[in-house]
């Protein structure tokens, strides 16, 4: 009897959740205020990172900016200061666990407790698997995936103590489905998605309802990170690379609306569902039709001219 009641309640909850998601798709959700919140953004010197910084600055958040490129980070900070917000910058190598922990200690001592954590930084080796040095493969996994564990361990305890905070993971559509020649990136983003979802479940199971999570999975963004990537021309006209500002603005709506997950554009949900439901061979046929199976090959050929220290830096 208890099982039947719980099953009925689950069906009601699932139905309610679906209806809420449908309504949220067509209506603008109420956006929360983050004025005065302390927001830490990684990869703040890159294209997307800089845009996130400016959007959070417009909302009145105090900012902590992390990047391995000191000069680029400072340029972002100056733009944010012109909007009248408090900004502190730190040069941090996210591939080094101790660098993260040391910088986190400095932030707590010098600025205070972070209440919004935006894990934006990422890299890709831009080499074929058998031609890629092991250290470049390792760095992709360290920056894009392992750093999420260390960042969370560094800043989540303070959020739990107050039952207040928001953790944002900027993943990728390539964390939901794959393509050839970017094994390091796909593996790291699949790891990022898995980590984020498990963390979200943990927070709910522990009744930390005041700590929100948002997973962002955009299609290829036109930042130069995957320069040269091409799908079939007709499909490319239908789904062109995303404009960076549009990507960040859509992400901000999801964050401020406390949306748990967003795919940008929405058509990526269809691709994700198809991958889960269709047989492997059917997905292969679809990839070939769209040109998705070989879309990264031109990117790999162009990658050597786009590298910095052996890696293509995150947007």
Which stretches within 44-96 are classed as H helix? 47-58, 70-81
Within 8 A by CB and 6+ apart from 112, the residues are: 38
Cβ atoms 266, 239 nearer than 8 A: no
CB 259 within 8 Å of CB 29: yes
- What pLDDT does 66 receive? 98
- Report the pLDDT value the prediction gives residue 5, as an integer from 0 to 100: 60
Per-residue pLDDT for the chain (315 aa), expressed as one digit of tens each?
Answer: 666 665 666 667 666 655 665 566 566 668 999 999 999 999 999 999 999 999 999 999 999 999 999 999 999 999 999 999 999 999 999 999 999 999 999 999 999 999 999 999 999 999 999 999 999 999 999 999 999 999 999 999 999 999 999 999 999 999 999 999 999 999 999 999 999 999 999 999 999 999 999 999 999 999 988 888 888 888 888 889 999 999 999 999 999 999 999 999 999 998 888 888 989 998 889 889 888 888 898 889 887 665 555 666 655
Q: How far apart are CA 91 and CA 102, in angstroms?
A: 11
- Does residue 259 sit within a domain? yes
pLDDT value at position 283? 87
Q: Does residue 84 sit within a domain?
A: yes
**Amino acid 39: pLDDT:** 98
The pLDDT, as a whole number, for residue 293 is 84
Active site members: 185
Question: Rounded to the nearest 5°, which phi and psi values hold at 233?
Answer: -55, -45
Q: Which helix (H) or strand (E) holds 91?
A: strand 87-91
- Closest-CA residue to 100 (of 168, 146, 62): 146
Range of the domain at 107: 32-309
User: Residue 212: inside a domain, yes or no?
Assistant: yes
Contact 189, 171 (CB under 8 A): yes
Is 110 among the domain residues? yes
Q: What is the pLDDT of residue 119?
A: 98
CA distances from 192 to 38, 39, 57, 145, 187 (A): 23, 20, 26, 5, 9
pLDDT value, residue 305: 61
The number of domains in the chain is 1
Using the structure block, give the residue that is written with the tokens 């890159």: 46
Residue spans of alpha helices (H) in the chain: 2-26, 47-58, 70-81, 97-110, 134-141, 147-162, 183-205, 233-238, 244-256, 267-277, 280-290, 297-302
φ/ψ region of 207 (left if φ > 0, alpha if ψ in -120 to 50, else beta) reads left
Q: Could you tell me if residue 290 is inside a domain?
A: yes
Residue 9 lies in a domain: no
**Smallest Cα–Cα separation from 292: which of 210, 178, 121?**
178
Residue 289 is assigned to a structural domain of this protein: yes
148 is a domain residue = yes
Q: Do residues 218 and 240 lie in contact, with contact meaning Cβ atoms separated by under 8 Å?
A: no
Beta bridge mates, 119: 169
Determine the Cα–Cα distance for residues 223 and 221; give it in Å rounded to an integer: 6
Domain at 266, CATH number: 3.40.50.720
Query: By C-alpha distance, which of 112, 144, 189, 172 is closest to 42?
Result: 144
Cα(141)–Cα(109) distance, rounded to whole angstroms? 29
Per the listing, tokens 């919140």 go with 37
| CA 144 – CA 147 distance, rounded (Å) | 7
């Amino acid at each position: 009897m208890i099982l039947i009641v719980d099953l009925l309640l689950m069906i009601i909850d699932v139905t309610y959740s679906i209806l809420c998601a449908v309504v949220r798709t067509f209506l603008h959700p109420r956006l929360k205020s983050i004025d005065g919140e302390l927001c830490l953004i990684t990869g703040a010197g890159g294209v997307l990172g800089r845009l996130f910084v400016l959007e959070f600055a417009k909302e009145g958040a105090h900012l902590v900016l992390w990047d391995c490129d000191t000069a680029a980070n400072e340029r972002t900070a100056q733009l944010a200061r012109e909007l009248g917000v408090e900004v502190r910058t730190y040069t941090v190598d996210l591939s080094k666990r101790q660098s993260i922990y040391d910088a986190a200690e400095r932030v707590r001592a010098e600025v205070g407790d972070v209440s919004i954590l935006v894990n934006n930084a990422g890299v890709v080796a831009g080499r074929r698997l058998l031609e890629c040095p092991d250290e470049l493969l390792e760095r992709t996994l360290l920056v894009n995936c392992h750093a999420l564990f260390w960042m969370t361990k560094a800043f989540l305890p303070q959020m739990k103590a107050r039952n207040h905070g928001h953790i944002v993971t900027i993943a990728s559509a390539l964390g939901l489905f794959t393509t050839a020649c970017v094994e390091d990136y796909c593996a790291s983003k699949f790891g990022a998605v898995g980590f984020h979802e498990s963390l979200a479940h943990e927070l709910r199971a522990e009744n930390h309802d005041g700590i929100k999570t948002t997973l962002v999975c955009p299609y290829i963004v036109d930042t130069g990170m995957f320069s040269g990537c091409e799908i079939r021309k007709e499909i490319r006209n239908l789904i062109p690379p995303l404009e960076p500002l549009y990507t960040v603005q859509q992400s901000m709506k999801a964050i401020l609306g406390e949306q748990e997950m967003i795919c940008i554009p929405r058509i990526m949900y269809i691709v994700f569902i198809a991958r889960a439901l269709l047989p492997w061979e059917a997905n292969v046929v679809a990839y070939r039709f769209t040109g998705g199976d070989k879309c990264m090959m031109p990117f790999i050929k162009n990658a050597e001219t786009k590298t910095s220290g052996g890696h293509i830096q995150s947007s």
